[in-house]
Amino acid sequence: MFRPWLDCEWPWLAVLTIISTWEMRYLGRCRFASLVLVFDPCGGKTRFQIEEVLDEHRVEHHPGDFKPTTEGLVQLRLTYCQQHRHHKGFLTSLAALPEVREMRGEPSA
């Protein structure tokens, strides 16, 4: 059976546009905040744990974001959405890591 509407992309685009509009109206736009995370590297193991948490929660980060401190620790600066609960769920997972020494919010640029 020939169904031309299944071969068209515009119905799917329309559905995605409607969903996006609904999200903006009822959930609001993202409001971004900055976070500085300081942790004990433990020979590199902690970085892999942190990257796994960030990947699970789809938090954007880059290898260059990890900077060594003068105390032998590592500092990571992140930007995340503080508006929506499902966007900031990773904070609890990071705080639960025993190697994390400090988590401090900073004003966004």
Give the pLDDT confidence of 56-99 residue by residue, as tens digits. 988 888 888 999 999 999 999 998 888 777 767 889 999 999 99
User: Residue 40: CB partners within 8 Å, gap ≥ 6?
Assistant: 46, 73, 74, 99, 101
The more confident residue out of 30 and 7 is: 30
The whole-model pTM stands at: 0.70
Provide the token pair at 35.
Answer: 């976070």
1-32 exposure pattern, b = at least 16 Cβ within 10 A, e = fewer: eeeeeeeeeeeeeeeeeeeeeeeeeeeeeeee
The more confident residue out of 108 and 84 is: 84
pLDDT at 50: 94
pLDDT at 60: 87
CA angle 65, 49, 84 (to 5 degrees): 70
